[in-house]
Structure 1
Amino acid sequence: MHPPFPFPGEPAVGGPRAWHTLPDEVQLTLSREALRRAAETLADHAELLAAEMEAGGLLDQGGPEALRLFAAVVRVTNKDGFATVGNA
């Protein structure tokens, strides 16, 4: 039974204890989806920074193209590496 209040940083429902009760295949699937989403977030942020540099909001020292290259590498590297699943 869970305590009435979560430990610091633990959500009120589920949490680390619930994670360990999931089958290994489910943990793996959820982990892959989390990594895929993290990679896409990194790529999106790189694109936003590049656009901000081009718009003059940040000092441009060749950064936009480098960020776009980084975004492309992240997307290509992770495109086939992780299975896409439903709503994780």
Structure 2
Amino acid sequence: MHSVQNSGESAHVPSAWHALPDELQLTLSREALRRAAETLAEHAELLAAEMESGTLLDQGGPEALRLFAAVVRATNRDGFATVGTA
């Protein structure tokens, strides 16, 4: 149990994460990593589009960012299974 202090009060709150079965922790962790990878890829695509439109200075970056996005997505597809709607 962990002690949480709020406005001078302390309360004992069980750690919900540690209470979950290991398999569920692994499943949720993989889904979080999948979502993080997709977020990185989407940001790379957005930056590439901004460079192409002239909003950001282009120094050969759009294609490099798209390559990065493709690598993140390809690695993600191979490494993690998609999980329901966690």
TM-score exceeds 0.5: yes
The 1:28/1:73 distance shift into structure 2, 3 A limit, reads same
Instruction: Tell me: CA distance 1:32–1:18, structure 2 relative to 1, closer, same or farther (3 Å).
Output: same
Percent identity (aligned): 82
- Runs of 4+ more than 6 Å apart: none
Superposition RMSD in Å: 2.3
Long gaps (5+) in structure 2: 7-12
How far 1:78 sits from its partner (Å)?
Answer: 1.0
In the alignment, structure 1 residue 68 sits paired with structure 2 residue 62 = no
The TM-score with structure 1 as length reference comes to 0.82
Q: Structure 1 residues 78-87 or 53-62, which shifts more?
A: 78-87
Q: Which has the larger radius of gyration?
A: 2
TM-score (structure 2 length as normaliser): 0.83
Q: CA deviation at 1:71?
A: 0.3
Task: Name the structure where strand makes up a greater proportion of residues.
Answer: 2
In structure 1, what is the Cα distance between the partners aligned to 2:14 and 2:56?
Answer: 40
